[in-house]
């Protein structure tokens, strides 16, 4: 899976030939150690499906990602690159953890990618399933939310929950930026919630590691998430940490609108891009304060150098979270230093 010897230390070659990053075989898992049911699907994309499974030797639930039967060779190679990216990313409390992979059938275009299992699924679905008439201030504390019995009302997602998720996503993205990773597909559908409803950034299918460059141009054709993309991504296919910040602003809008579709009345067109250039922006969600909405709009500056960093966003939402926690007489012990 790797020929790092032909790349050496060349930034240009590493940028061009990312598919040759070496594979750390210590992450290899024997197929007999993986158990899953094809009927227990928890997610899917254009090229792969995700099933709930078990890593038998550790006795834990895992998410098992595997290519669809219709996956083409270039798409399959993309999955292999994704493995190497996740190994490079390593561990962080707000990034979905890579556990290992089974690649012994790689010649048959089969691979099994094992990741941390997020019991509460993606943030987008969670928001849609818990959408009330309005957000109430304060608790209940997110870690006390339980799945209701049949005919029992869903618990309310509070403003405090939303601020905490905003902080946690910013913290995960700050870490990816530190690792020189551009996500390029940040949206609430790609943020997962664990059993304690902690937000974790996931799905690096469109991501790329930067080797000393400020941005890169995506030359391969694929279905792109235009509603979340920065103006420079739409006009020149340029992706960077700053374009991820733009997407993060859209994620905040999704959060405070309970998973509504951004720009619901627009279609992908040159006219849409022109409207963005002329100042079109998503309106303030009714459950977002002016302070929160100002954070959103700061992420959508046409000049990417004027957008806040993920460190600034993380710090701002952490302060907001602590302030709101004190006002609602709740604990902020979930924040990890």
The pLDDT of residue 177 = 95
The pLDDT of residue 133 = 52
Q: Is the pLDDT of residue 29 over 70?
A: yes
pLDDT digits (tens, 9 = 90+) for 32-83: 999 999 999 998 877 899 999 999 999 999 999 999 989 889 889 888 888 9
Select which of 161, 185, 244, 316 is catalytic.
Answer: 185
Other beta carbons less than 10 A from residue 292's beta carbon? 22
The pLDDT of residue 216 = 47
Average pLDDT over residues 121-143: 66
Domain ranges of the chain: 4-116, 123-327
Q: Is the pLDDT of residue 91 over 90?
A: yes
pLDDT digits (tens, 9 = 90+) for 216-263: 455 443 467 899 999 999 999 899 999 999 999 999 999 999 999 999
Asked about 185 being catalytic, the answer comes back as yes
Domains 4-116 and 123-327 share a fold: no
Tell me if 330 sits within 8 A of 139, measured CB to CB.
yes
Three-state SS string over 176-221 comes to HHHCCEECCCCCHHHEEECCCCCEEECCCCCCEECCCCCCEECCCC
The pLDDT of residue 151 = 41
**Range of weakest confidence among 16-20, 129-133, 274-278:** 16-20
- For residue 176, what pLDDT band results from cuts at 50, 70 and 90? very high
- To the nearest whole number, what is the mean pLDDT of the chain? 83
Superfamily of domain 123-327: Transferase(Phosphotransferase) domain 1 (1.10.510.10)
- Please give the distance of CA 287 from its chain centroid, rounded to a whole number: 23
Superfamily of domain 4-116: Phosphorylase Kinase; domain 1 (3.30.200.20)
The pLDDT of residue 237 = 87
Q: Is the pLDDT of residue 115 over 50?
A: yes
Phi, psi of 93 (to 5 degrees): -65, -20
Q: Is the pLDDT of residue 298 over 70?
A: yes
């Amino acid at each position: 899976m790797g020929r790092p010897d032909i790349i050496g230390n060349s930034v240009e070659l590493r940028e061009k030939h990312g598919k040759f990053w070496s594979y750390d075989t210590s992450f290899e898992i024997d197929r007999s150690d993986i158990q899953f049911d094809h009927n227990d699907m928890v997610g899917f994309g254009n090229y792969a499906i995700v099933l709930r499974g078990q890593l038998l030797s550790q006795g834990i639930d895992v998410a098992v990602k595997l290519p669809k039967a219709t996956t083409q060779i270039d798409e399959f190679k993309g999955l292999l690159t994704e493995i190497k990216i996740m190994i490079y990313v390593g561990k962080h409390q707000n990034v979905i953890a890579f556990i290992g992979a089974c690649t012994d059938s790689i010649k048959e275009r089969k691979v099994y990618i094992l990741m941390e299992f997020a019991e509460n699924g993606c943030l987008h679905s969670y928001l849609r399933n818990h959408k009330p008439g309005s957000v109430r201030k304060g608790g209940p504390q997110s870690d006390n939310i339980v799945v209701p019995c049949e005919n029992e009302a869903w618990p309310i997602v509070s403003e405090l929950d939303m601020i905490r998720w905003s902080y946690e996503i910013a913290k995960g993205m700050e870490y990816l930026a530190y690792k020189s990773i551009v996500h390029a597909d940040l949206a609430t559908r790609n943020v997962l919630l664990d059993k304690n409803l902690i937000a974790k950034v996931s799905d690096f299918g469109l991501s790329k590691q930067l080797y000393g460059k400020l941005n890169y141009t995506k030359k391969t054709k694929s279905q792109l998430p235009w509603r979340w993309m920065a103006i420079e991504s739409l006009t020149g296919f340029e992706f960077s940490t700053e374009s991820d910040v733009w997407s993060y602003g859209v994620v905040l809008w999704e959060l405070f609108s309970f998973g509504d579709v951004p720009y619901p009345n627009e279609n992908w067109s040159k006219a849409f891009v022109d409207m963005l250039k002329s100042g079109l922006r998503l309106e303030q969600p009714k459950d977002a304060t002016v302070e929160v909405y100002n954070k959103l709009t700061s992420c959508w500056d046409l000049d990417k150098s004027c957008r806040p960093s993920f460190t600034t966003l993380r710090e701002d939402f952490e302060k907001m979270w602590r302030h709101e926690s004190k006002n609602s007489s709740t604990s902020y012990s979930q924040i990890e230093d």
